A and B are shown apart, each in its own frame.
Chain A
């Protein structure tokens, strides 16, 4: 597979920043994986390795004031929306310097100031929240759009149906972005949905639906860019389905009995979103292999620094236990 042509509007600098960001996402989750395997972090986590293009591409087209709602598999969304990897890592290490002061962990990282309304431990829980955030934008005429990430599995929750209908009848500035990574925890989308594409459901809400190659950064940017424009022009929501694949198991313990090694290899070898981008960059002569490698190493170093920051940070004091229950 090869990626789409690079849109003319993008500068080389932007493209290289995206390349760097995708490595940052990958190294973040690789590192988290390593710490979980060693038992150095407790709780659970859901990694988005292999899905970097959806997070990076979709968030790239957003303006700073635009908002996102994220999922349990949300580290990539968070980084792409501009979060500080130090504070993210610190949260995973349950430290006071973390985004949630150590109270939330992997499934609840939020960066409300930067428009990340939060990851979510409840599958489908974020979809109606995105609708509400878009409602504020409309009622107060704030002009921002909301990008709502959710999985193929979440599309089978009642909240999906109710949220899409609401957004449609109220013509809200929201983009429903389904990251179809082929499985829920183990349930294959082919057995859990009786149609070929989740994106086809758009027609039942009277909204446009797009079905795209989720590992092609430029396909993601193009579809999301159009949908955000439409949302901001007051034309209502869009449903985008991006086909992708999670390389790792569902969460920290997963024997992956529900899929084959061949399938995993296919996605890794043929559709690695970072490799696809690298090929495009080299083909178009936007950078050399050495320059790309330097960006990759830079990302790796940032994650190592984030770990150091997290490890050196203090734990929250017991006095914080009963703080922040109410505003």
Chain B
């Protein structure tokens, strides 16, 4: 396959275009996705290619457009709904949680809701408390929803294709700080199955399980630790639901030590779920130290850049957590 350097945002756009060219049922709806190109420029150029019928620029009505996506999906379309910031999911939650997630089950296995809700989460842009949250654990809690969190351009494209083709509602969490990140991406259509983790770096001493932007911080930390002779394995689950438990268990069984890191608030965050998957499995027997869990502080994201940075885990926090887990392992 030919590859091309694509940013995360271009890779997402490419997945949308490829699917829209071959499947008439796929369309996009969202606020300012027309000539404006979307709040983060992801849909730039799409209205020019596909026209306003299939790239539907909507009023500012998150509850309405989420519901319209659900209804269209239930009757044969494959909508891709863009919400400008993942914080605005709050306004669309009735349609996502009470409707989309449950329809098939409530109806006794009849009907399906093949829609994708794409939306950027995360802090780091100074957008403050109402535009910087990481609320993926909420969605992962809801039976009937799938939850995806790509950390790279390559993953974003392959996962989005799978999400669009999936017959269930998929919440596709992008990250604002990743939109500009570039890497070689195949030009053709390819799929990454939902529920397949990836080892971003192999190692033998500690497994760092990281999601979204934290994958990059974990890789940076791994590089620093390598210089000290510590071999870190970085595992990115890529999808929270379904979760690739087997890959997590295999990696932890190999290294015996785990650090889990996400940007979302640590309290009741998805890291707790991952930790529990590990201790409930056979990997428990291989653990040489308590699991280290890193996440955001239990505060709304502040505006001041220094405060904002300290509200979420940094590379140095990961380095320290890895060292702690190695130290504690020795005490045992």
Does residue B35 face the partner (Cβ distance < 8 Å to A)? yes
Does residue A193 face the partner (Cβ distance < 8 Å to B)? yes
A191 and B34 CA atoms in complex are apart in Å by 12
Query: By the criterion CB–CB under 8 Å, are A192 and B305 in contact?
Result: no
Q: Which of A128-154 contact B (CB under 8 A)?
A: 153-154
Interface centre among B39, B130, B304 (most CB of A within 10 A): B304
Query: By the criterion CB–CB under 8 Å, are A325 and B60 in contact?
Result: no
Query: By the criterion CB–CB under 8 Å, are A318 and B310 in contact?
Result: yes
Query: By the criterion CB–CB under 8 Å, are B129 and A157 in contact?
Result: no
Enumerate chain A residues within 8 angstroms of B298, measured Cβ to Cβ.
322, 325
Q: Fill in one digit per residue for A289-327: 1 if any B CB lies within 8 Å of its CB, else 0.
A: 000000000000000000000000001101011100100
Query: By the criterion CB–CB under 8 Å, are A121 and B305 in contact?
Result: no
Query: By the criterion CB–CB under 8 Å, are B129 and A104 in contact?
Result: yes
Binding-face segment, A6-14, A180-188, A272-280: A180-188
Query: By the criterion CB–CB under 8 Å, are A105 and B307 in contact?
Result: no
Nearest Cβ distance between residue A72 and chain B, in whole angstroms? 9
Enumerate chain B residues within 8 angstroms of A32, measured Cβ to Cβ.
none
Query: By the criterion CB–CB under 8 Å, are B128 and A121 in contact?
Result: yes
Q: Which of A75-111 contact B (CB under 8 A)?
A: 91, 94, 100, 102-105, 107-108
Q: Fill in one digit per residue for B292-332: 1 if any A CB lies within 8 Å of its CB, else 0.
A: 00000111101111110011000000000000000000000
Query: By the criterion CB–CB under 8 Å, are A102 and B302 in contact?
Result: yes
A108 and B301 CA atoms in complex are apart in Å by 12
Does residue A44 face the partner (Cβ distance < 8 Å to B)? yes
Does residue A214 face the partner (Cβ distance < 8 Å to B)? no
A315 and B62 CA atoms in complex are apart in Å by 36
Query: By the criterion CB–CB under 8 Å, are B311 and A321 in contact?
Result: yes
Query: By the criterion CB–CB under 8 Å, are A318 and B59 in contact?
Result: no
Which label, helix, strand, loop or mixed, suits the secondary structure of the B interface?
A: loop
Tell me how many residue pairs across A and B have CB atoms closer than 8 Å: 119
Nearest Cβ distance between residue B94 and chain A, in whole angstroms? 10
Query: By the criterion CB–CB under 8 Å, are B57 and A187 in contact?
Result: yes
Query: By the criterion CB–CB under 8 Å, are A185 and B39 in contact?
Result: yes
Does residue A42 face the partner (Cβ distance < 8 Å to B)? yes
Q: Quick one: which of B31, B58, B62, B300 contacts A325, CB cutoff 8 A?
A: B300
Give the interface size class of chain A.
35 or more
Does residue B276 face the partner (Cβ distance < 8 Å to A)? no
Query: By the criterion CB–CB under 8 Å, are A94 and B60 in contact?
Result: no
Query: By the criterion CB–CB under 8 Å, are A258 and B299 in contact?
Result: no
Query: By the criterion CB–CB under 8 Å, are B297 and A43 in contact?
Result: no
Name the residue of chain A whose CB is nearest to the CB of B125: A43
Known contacts: A94-B305, A107-B128, A322-B299. The answer to whether A257 contacts B57 by CB under 8 A is no
Enumerate chain B residues within 8 angstroms of A104, measured Cβ to Cβ.
128-129, 303
Does residue B127 face the partner (Cβ distance < 8 Å to A)? yes
Query: By the criterion CB–CB under 8 Å, are B88 and A122 in contact?
Result: yes
Query: By the criterion CB–CB under 8 Å, are A186 and B303 in contact?
Result: no
Query: By the criterion CB–CB under 8 Å, are B304 and A187 in contact?
Result: no
Name the residue of chain B whose CB is nearest to the CB of A158: B63
A17 and B127 CA atoms in complex are apart in Å by 34
Enumerate chain B residues within 8 angstroms of A185, measured Cβ to Cβ.
31-32, 36, 39
Which label, helix, strand, loop or mixed, suits the secondary structure of the A interface?
A: loop
A277 and B250 CA atoms in complex are apart in Å by 73
Q: Which of A252-283 contact B (CB under 8 A)?
A: 254, 257-258
Name the residue of chain B whose CB is nearest to the CB of A256: B36
Q: Quick one: which of A44, A102, A125 contacts B307, CB cutoff 8 A?
A: A102
Query: By the criterion CB–CB under 8 Å, are B59 and A156 in contact?
Result: yes
Enumerate chain A residues within 8 angstroms of B304, measured Cβ to Cβ.
94, 102-103, 315-316
Does residue A124 face the partner (Cβ distance < 8 Å to B)? yes
A46 and B94 CA atoms in complex are apart in Å by 29
Query: By the criterion CB–CB under 8 Å, are A43 and B31 in contact?
Result: no
Q: Quick one: which of B36, B60, B125 contacts A124, CB cutoff 8 A?
A: B60
Does residue B204 face the partner (Cβ distance < 8 Å to A)? no
18 contacts between A and B (CB under 8 A): A91-B303, A103-B304, A105-B128, A108-B303, A121-B128, A156-B60, A156-B61, A157-B63, A158-B91, A186-B34, A187-B32, A318-B306, A318-B310, A320-B307, A321-B302, A321-B311, A322-B299, A325-B298
Interface residue ranges, A against B (CB under 8 Å): 42-44, 91, 94, 100, 102-105, 107-108, 120-125, 153-154, 156-158, 184-187, 191-193, 254, 257-258, 315-316, 318, 320-322, 325
Closest 7 CB pairs of A and B: A43-B126, A105-B303, A121-B130, A186-B36, A42-B126, A156-B59, A94-B304
**What 15 additional pairs, Cβ within 8 angstroms, besides A121-B127, A318-B307?**
A103-B128, A103-B302, A107-B130, A107-B131, A121-B131, A122-B91, A154-B60, A157-B62, A158-B64, A184-B59, A185-B31, A186-B57, A257-B36, A315-B304, A325-B299
